[in-house]
Structures are given as structure tokens and as C-alpha cells.
Amino acid sequence: MQGTLEIIFLLAAIGYFLGGIRIKGIHLGTSGVLLAALYFGHLGYEIPSLIRDLGLALFVGAVGLTAGSRFFRNLKQNALSYGAIAVAIVSSSAFAVSVFSRFFSMPGALSAGIYTGALTTTPGLAAALEVTQDSAVSIGYGIAYPFGVVGVVLFVQAVPRLLGKDLRVEMQALSESAYTPARTDLMVRDFVVAEPAVYRKTLSELNIAASTGAVISRVRKGNQVLPAFRETVLLEGDVIRGVGTEEALRRLEEMVGPYTSALMSQPGLEVRDLVLEGPTLVGKTPGSLSLNKQYGVMLTRIRRAGVEFVPTAQTIFEHKDVIRAVGPSFGLDKLEALVGRQRRAFDDLGMLPLMAVLAIGTALARVRFMIPGTGGVSLGLAGGPLMAGLIVGHFGGIGPWSLKPSGRLLNVMREAGLMLFLAGAGVAAGHGFVETVARYGWLLFLGGALVTLIPMCVGFILANWVFKLSLPDTLGSICGGMTSTPALGALITAAGSEEVAAPYAATYPFALVLVVVASQALASLL
């Protein structure tokens, strides 16, 4: 086992080095581990399949927990589109391999293997092997698999560049249209009012949020500390508490006066984190609610999908938003009855809920759904933990307890899981890879590449020009239609957001069932 650990760490280091090499802005990222693993596999090294399975479960489980808060809404809006994209990708790839097989008179088992390798689908491989009982299926899978991984990874990075678009900018625009803010690091500082320009003016007149990007949560007048309302008048010597980024607070200091340290607590004045559970506030804005008039409270920040930001009058509330409110106890009690209260975490990082999701997901992966004409299909480790994570991520918790791990933990587990999965899968595919290509010729490798490229192009045309999906949703659905877990990891990195996992997760189940059926049909008919 010690030797196995050394191999994993060494090939991972080499893989990350290869993945970091950029050619005209395009790079393999974590998928560079696959190339290193293929070479190690060719040299005869082995990694237990348990390592690969562990990595896969960690990766998709973390992705599911992150994307769960938006998955069902996205699916409800675009279910028909995602289903059609999955059908188009699976059917066009099956048609391509059929033409290729007929034209070059390839055995059906070998053709079915190329098909499953091009779509990197282990369930499809198992289904084809069950029908043919022919090792040629595994040979074809091994030939097509490397490009099936690398090709999709490169595709999701190359397409935005070919279209002259920045994927991160497109993702930010999509997020803003969905009222999701950019990631921020909020700070809290107190300032003494010492600039004559702000004397005897209300916070509404000063419009501090628009001018600086910060929000005022409290105002100290003499020995009394009050929530900061729009009608609050600032006088010389008042102390205000600002919440915002370091840059926003710097602008606030220039506007009102120097930083100070003052006692800003007051008996009866509390700070509470409230989870928006009910439908009453969803879709509404702070500006339309007049919370200070109704409850005497002030909103200072919102946390959404792991991102904390300062709300504005136009911010639209979403389900599961965590809202921090400042005000008197009786006002917060009324607001809490309307909104809901922050759930308590089992532990600081959230390891307990993550492990529970993985346990449920791996059990769900074994459940077989019977489909006429097949031996049944299961979600597998690529689907079981993903679905469990999406469901838990959507509901967020049970009663007063939170089931959402911290964003830090999910990010680390996602990256580590993808690395372990690629290391195990690459070493397995590398065994006999060179000998197989030498025996059957590079023509088979070309066939696998075409079977990978053609359905991606078809899926892109359908998603982007027929269904008018955004570029991030288009690429996410293509990753799901190609059942490509490594490509999802590359897309998350390229987009700078886990939100692209939502279209992936919406398309993946359709594609999984269809590709198993298609694999069996190809193995039987070709």
C-alpha cells in the first residue's frame, strides 16, 4: 500500500504540472493527472479500484451539495431542453460509431467499446460486456477513453474562445441575472462622523451603499446605539458601524471620517442570522418591504450558496438565503417568525453531513432500475452521491440542524476527489494502451475522437441556437450528456463557479439511461 501512495502522489504532482501548461490560454487543469496516469499504467503500475471509486464519490458528492440549492429550479425551467440535449448527444454518437463501424468493417463488440469509451461511461461498458461477453469491448473502451476525457475538457475551454467570449464573464452575467452576487470578503469597522459634508444628512440622502458599496448597520449617538435606518440623521461625533469589503470600507472612511474603536452594543439590540425558509419573501427586495418600519430591524448581509455580500434595495431574496439582521429583540422575533432561523451545524467544517451524504449516495448507487430490454440500470457512483448531494443541498438541513458542509471543505474534497478518480481511471486505461493502438492502428483512435467530437457539436448547436441556453448552461449540459465527470471539473474551474454543475446534473440522468440502452443495442446489432 505504501508503494501505491507514492505512485498516486508522484503521478498527481506530474499531472498538475502538465495541467498547468497553457497553450493560447487553454490548459488541461486537473485532467493533466489523466495523462500522467496513462503513462504510469503503460509502465505497469496499478492503483486499487477503491481509490478511483473513493475519488469519484467525493467529487460528485461535493458537487451535488454545492449545486443543490439551484438544481431543482434549473431543472424545472429547462427539463425539456436537457432531455432533448441528452437524446441528441447519445443518438448522434451512436449513429457516428455505427457509420464508422460499417465503413471500416469493425466488429460490433469493438465498436460498442469505442462508443462507451468516447462517452467515458462505465455503466455503458458494463452493459455492452454483458451482451457480448467479448474482451474487444474493453479494448475499444481503452482506445477511446483518453480522448473521451481530454476531448471534452478541451472542448469546454476552446468553445468560448472560438466564440470570442470569456466564460467567467458569461457566468457572472448569468449569476447577476439570477440575482447572485460576486464572491466577497466582508469586514466590519466603526467610523466616527467627522466630515462636514455628511453632517445633518440622512442615510437615505447620503446613499452610502451606492457611493461606497458598504452598508451601515448601527449608529451610536452619545451612549445610545440604534439600528441604522434610512431616516437616521448623522451628526458630528456620531459613530457608525460599516459592513463591506476592505475597498468599500476604505471609501466609507474617506466619506464620513476616520476609523475608530467604540462600544457598539446596546441592551435589547441583537444580531441574528435568519434562513429564508418560507415563500413570503422569495422574489421580493429589501426596498419593497420597509423592514425598518414594520419590525425596526436593519439587514446587514446575505449569504447565498457560500457567498456573503452586502444587500442593496434591489437585491432579490431567494429561498435558503441566510440573512443577518440587527434590531431590537421583539422586532427580530417577528421577522424570525416570517423568515426562519439559522440552523445549527453539527461541526465547524461539516464532515458529518458530508459523510452521511456519501453513505446514502453510495447505497443509492447500487439500486437498479428495471428497463424493458435491459438487465436494469443503476446510477452508479457517478450518479448516486450526486443525487444524494443535490437533494440534501436543496433542503439544507433537518429541523434546527444544518446539513450543509462549509464551502472550504467542499472545495477541497471536490478537487481531491477528481484527482484520485483520474489517477485510478487513467492507470487502468493505460494498461496495454500502446500495444492495443499498435495492433489495431491509429484509425481506431481517430474513430473514438470523432465519436466524441460529433455529439458535442450536435449538443452545442441544439442547446445554444435552438433552446437558447446561456453558454455556461450549454457547456454544463454537454458535460452531462457526455457523462463526463472530469470535464465537469474542468468546466467548474474555467467558469469559476460550481453553478455549472446544475445543468450537468439535470442532463446526466437522461444520458445515463440512454447510453446504457444504446450500448446494448450497438453490441447486439453491429
Q: In this structure, are 498 and 392 located in the same domain?
A: yes
- Note the helical H segments in 23-135: 32-42, 49-104, 108-118, 122-132
Q: Are 488 and 504 in contact (CB under 8 A)?
A: yes
User: CB of 94 within 8 A of CB of 452?
Assistant: no
- Strand-pairing partners, residue 240, are 191, 219
- Same domain for 259 and 242? yes
Q: Do 106 and 226 share a structural domain?
A: no
Mean pLDDT of the 497-503 span: 75
Q: Between these two residues, 265 and 465, which has the higher pLDDT value?
A: 465
What pLDDT band is residue 181 in, cutting at 50, 70 and 90? very low
Q: Write phi, then psi, for 337 (nearest 5 degrees).
A: -65, -30
Same-domain status, 234 and 163: no
Beta bridge pairs of residue 219: 226, 240
Residue 111 lies in a domain: yes
Hey, what amino acid is at 164?
G
The DSSP bridge pattern shows strands 401-402 and 344-345 to be parallel
Domain stop point among 228, 246, 267: 267
Same domain, yes or no, for 361 and 506? yes
CATH of residue 129? 1.20.1530
| In-domain check, residue 294 | no
Helix 433-440 / helix 442-461 crossing angle, nearest 10 deg? 100
- Across the chain, mean pLDDT equals 77
Residue of higher predicted confidence among 309 and 482 = 482
Would you tell me the crossing angle of helices 501-525 and 380-395 to the nearest 10 degrees? 150
Cell 432531455 maps to which residue?
A: 83
Greatest mean pLDDT among 125-129, 272-276, 308-312, 436-440 lies in 272-276
Q: Which of 152-156, 347-351, 430-434 has the highest mean pLDDT?
A: 152-156
- Mean pLDDT over residues 113-127, rounded? 72
Q: Do residues 360 and 373 share a domain?
A: yes
Indicate the range of 120-129, 390-399, 411-420, 446-455 predicted with least confidence. 120-129
C-alpha cell at 128: 455492452
More confident residue, 155 or 316: 155
Mean per-residue pLDDT, 301-318: 72
In this structure, which amino acid lies at residue 222? G
98-101 LR contacts (CB < 8 Å, sep 24+): 98/522, 98/526, 100/447, 100/450, 100/451, 101/526
Give residue for cell 451603499. Answer: 209
Per-residue pLDDT, averaged over 108-136, amounts to: 70
CATH number of the domain at 255, please: 3.30.70.1450
pLDDT at 177 over 80: no
Q: pLDDT value at position 183?
A: 46
Name which residue leads in pLDDT, 414 or 359. 359
Which residues constitute the domain of residue 512? Answer: 2-177+349-525
Given a cut of 60, whether residue 366 has pLDDT beyond it is: yes
What percentage of the chain has pLDDT greater than the value 90? 1
Please give the Cα distance from 495 to 167 (Å, whole number). 5
* Alpha-carbon Rg for the chain in angstroms: 27
pLDDT at 380 over 50: yes
Work out the average pLDDT over 40-56.
84
Q: Binning pLDDT at 50, 70 and 90, where does residue 25 land?
A: low
CA distance 453 to 438: 23
Q: Render 249-274 in DSSP notation, one character per residue.
A: HHHHHHHH--EE------TTEEEEEE
Among 494, 466, 499, 462, smallest CA distance to 478 is for 462
- If pLDDT is split at 50, 70 and 90, which confidence band does 179 have? very low
Using alpha carbons, select from 522, 432, 524, 436 the residue that is nearest to residue 111.
522
Q: Which among 494, 525, 522, 448 is positioned nearest to 142, based on CA atoms? A: 448
94 falls within a domain:
yes
Q: Which of 267, 300, 319 is the last residue of a domain?
A: 267
Q: 442 versus 409: which is more confidently predicted?
A: 409
The residue behind cell 429547462 is 78
Tell me whether residue 274 is in a domain: no
Structural domains in the chain (count): 2
Asked if 258 and 192 count as a contact pair (C-beta separation under 8 A), the reply is yes
pLDDT at residue number 36: 83
Are 369 and 495 contained in the same domain? Answer: yes
Rounded CA gap, 13 and 54, in Å? 19
Q: Is residue 332 part of a domain?
A: no
Q: Give 367's contacts (C-beta < 8 A, 6+ positions apart).
A: 378, 379, 384
Structure confidence at residue 278 (pLDDT):
64
Would you tell me how many other CB atoms lie within 10 Å of the CB of residue 22? 10
Mean pLDDT of 417-445: 72
Lowest-pLDDT range, 117-121, 146-150, 184-188? 184-188
At 178, is the pLDDT very low, low, confident or very high (cuts 50, 70, 90)? very low
Q: What is the DSSP letter of 184?
A: B
Query: What cell was used for 505?
Result: 446534473
HSE of 7, CA atoms in CB hemisphere, 13 A? 21
In a domain, 369, yes or no: yes
Count of other CB atoms within 10 angstroms of residue 227 = 24
Residue whose cell numbers read 471609501: 251
Average pLDDT over residues 306-329: 74
**Residues paired with residue 189 on neighbouring β-strands, in sequence order:** 242
Question: In the beta sheet, which residues pair with residue 187?
Answer: 244
First CA to last CA distance, the chain: 42
Same domain, 372 and 225: no
Looking at per-residue pLDDT, the higher value among 67 and 168 belongs to 168
Residues 128, 235 within the same domain: no
Average pLDDT over residues 508-512: 74
Residues 90 and 145 in one domain: yes
Quick one: pLDDT at residue 28?
66
Kindly state whether residues 193 and 164 are assigned to the same domain. no
Residue 99 falls within a domain, yes or no? Answer: yes
Please report which confidence band the pLDDT of residue 300 belongs to, taking 50, 70 and 90 as the band edges.
confident
pLDDT of 348 over the 60 cut: yes
The 3-state DSSP class for residue 258 equals: coil
Q: Are 413 and 402 in contact (CB under 8 A)?
A: no
* Cβ atoms 163, 475 nearer than 8 A: no
Strands 344-345 and 298-304: unpaired
Alpha-carbon distance 348 to 406, whole Å?
A: 8
Residues 355 and 221 in one domain: no
Mean pLDDT, residues 110-131 taken together: 71
Q: Average pLDDT in the 182-193 region? A: 73
The confidence score (pLDDT) of residue 160 equals 85
Which pLDDT value is given to residue 306?
55
Residues 126-155, mean pLDDT to the nearest whole number: 70
Question: Is 237 part of any domain?
Answer: yes
End residue of a domain, out of 267, 288, 319 = 267
